[in-house]
A = this chain, B = another copy of it.
Amino acid sequence: MVANSKKFMNDPDAIVREMLEGFFGAHPDIVRPSSANPRAVYALDGPREGKVGLVIGGGSGHEPAFIGYVGKGLADAAVAGNVFASPAPEPILQAARDVHRGAGVLFMYGNYAGDVMNFDMAAEMAAMEDLTVRSVAVIDDVASAPRERRTERRGVAGDFFVFKAAGAASDKMLDLDGVVAAAEKANAATLTMGVAMSACTLPQSAAPNFHLGDGEMEIGMGVHGEPGISRGPVLPADKVADELVDRILAESGAGAGEQVSLLVNGLGSTTLMELYVLHRRVRQRLDDARISIHRSFVGEYVTSLEMAGASVSMIRLDDDLRRLLDHPCRTAALVVA
Contact = CB atoms under 8 A, between A and B. Distances in A.
A238 interface: yes
A274 B4 contact: no
B306 A270 contact: yes
A105 to B, nearest CB: 26
Interface string A114-136: 00000000000000000000000
A164 interface: no
A102 to B, nearest CB: 29
Contact of A18 (B9, B15, B280, B300): B280
Interface of A is mostly: mixed
Given A6-B197, A236-B10, A310-B8, A277 B63 contact: no
B277 A22 contact: yes
B8 A295 contact: no
B25 A237 contact: no
A46 interface: no
B4 A283 contact: no
Given A19-B273, A27-B296, A63-B271, A278 B8 contact: yes
Interface string A197-210: 11000010000000
A234 B264 CA distance: 33
A182 interface: no
Contact of A10 (B264, B275, B277): B277
Contacts of A61: 271, 273
A1 interface: yes
Interface string A273-311: 111111111010000000001011011100101101010
Most chain B beta-carbon neighbours within 10 Å: one of A9, A262, A283, A336: A9
A149 interface: no
A145 to B, nearest CB: 25
Report, nearest first, the 3 A-B pairs whose CB atoms are least far apart: A269-B269, A22-B276, A337-B337
Interface of A: 1-2, 4, 6-10, 15, 18-23, 25-27, 29, 60-61, 63-64, 68, 197-198, 203, 215, 217, 234, 236-238, 240, 262, 264, 268-281, 283, 293, 295-296, 298-300, 303, 305-306, 308, 310, 328, 330, 332, 335-337
Given A6-B197, A272-B303, 9 more contacts: A1-B4, A8-B197, A18-B277, A22-B281, A23-B279, A25-B280, A63-B272, A64-B272, A330-B337
9 contacts: A4-B308, A6-B308, A8-B237, A18-B237, A18-B276, A22-B275, A26-B264, A26-B279, A269-B308
